[in-house]
Amino acid sequence: MAWRSGVTALLMLQPRTALLATRGPAASYGTSITSAKIQVNGVNLHYQQTGEGSHAVLLLPGMLGSGQTDFGPQLKSMNKQLFTIVAWDPRGYGQSIPPSRDFPPDFFERDAKDAVDLMQALKFKKFSLLGWSDGGITALIAAAKYPALIHKMVVWGANASVTQEDVRIYNGIRDVSKWSEKVKKPLEELYGLKYFAETCEAWVDGITRFAEKSGGSICQQLLPHIKCPTLIIHGEKDPLVPRFHAEYIHEHIKGSRLHLMPEGKHNLHLRFAEEFNREVEEFLR
């Protein structure tokens, strides 16, 4: 993959940092976005919810992301008559702090269990998954391990393994002091510089550890166990996730679909939100 250094690549990796304004609880979820916390697996997990449709959908954010930072156009514009949309902050991210974020060998499995248990705590018996980047990996694991609970799944910017090429990319963003001010400042405001910098370094250490495993697998062995209808979206100009990762996932999930966006980069759901939302809603119907 042609690695784009500097601001462009960093912008593609980091969550959109213009925060979506939230309102307090309302009588109807029709147009409002509510914000709350609920205890799951010993952690007070923060989530946002909107819509009143019978089809529940969970949005799973990327590294250092949250529902609020990563999914503004989806929370605002997805069909709220058809869907009930939940966007969560994984433990240690966004407003699900404490605890501090850490990256044990099973951190993706832990996130998958937290996500599924959150939706069950919210009384959703079955739901679909929309996972971006790290959230896409979490979604793949959740769909494989909890098949009876997952209706459909969409993933983008995800990978089922870590190659040496990926390791070089990840190490390129380890030191946040080298990031552009435009990208760095909003995350510093969200997390504070110390937490932001330490969490980024810890993430790089955690994700690159998979490259030491046979084949660099994160969840390759789980893909054949995914039974739900699955849509993989790939931006052909993604500087962080080469196309072969999307193709590998597609080839190993039976019956899955691969949709390519020629101009899409890593944050295609933000940059091309209208096209993305339309494609996803048609698939989820």
pLDDT at 24 exceeding the cut of 50: no
Please pick, among 96, 133, 161, 256, the residue that the annotation labels catalytic.
Answer: 133
Task: Decide if 133 is catalytic.
Answer: yes
Question: Which of 234, 245, 266, 269 is labelled catalytic?
Answer: 266
Task: Bin 211: left if φ > 0, else alpha if -120 < ψ < 50, else beta.
Answer: alpha
Q: What pLDDT does 30 receive?
A: 55
pLDDT at 192: 95
Q: For residue 179, what pLDDT is reported?
A: 85
- Ranges 29-43, 56-70, 120-134, 268-282: which has the least confidence: 29-43
pTM across the whole model: 0.89
What is the pLDDT, as a whole number, of residue 187?
A: 82
Cis peptide bond prior to 99, omega within 30° of 0: yes
Residue 238 annotated among the catalytic residues of the structure: yes
- pLDDT at position 235 over 50: yes
Work out the pLDDT band at 25, boundaries 50, 70, 90. very low
Query: Taking 90 as the threshold, does the pLDDT of residue 29 lie above it?
Result: no
Q: Is the pLDDT of residue 9 over 70?
A: no
Domains of the chain: 34-284 (3.40.50.1820)
pLDDT of residue 184: 82
The token duo for 196 is 């932001």
What's the whole-number mean pLDDT along residues 102-114?
A: 98
Query: How confident is the model over 40-87, as pLDDT tens digits?
Result: 999 999 999 999 999 999 999 999 999 988 999 999 999 999 999 999
> Residue 284: pLDDT band by 50, 70, 90 thresholds?
very high
User: pLDDT digits over 140-173, tens only?
Assistant: 999 999 999 999 999 999 999 999 999 999 999 8
Q: Does pLDDT of 14 surpass 90?
A: no
Q: Does residue 248 register a pLDDT over 70? A: yes
Catalytic residue chosen out of the listed positions 111, 114, 166, 238: 238
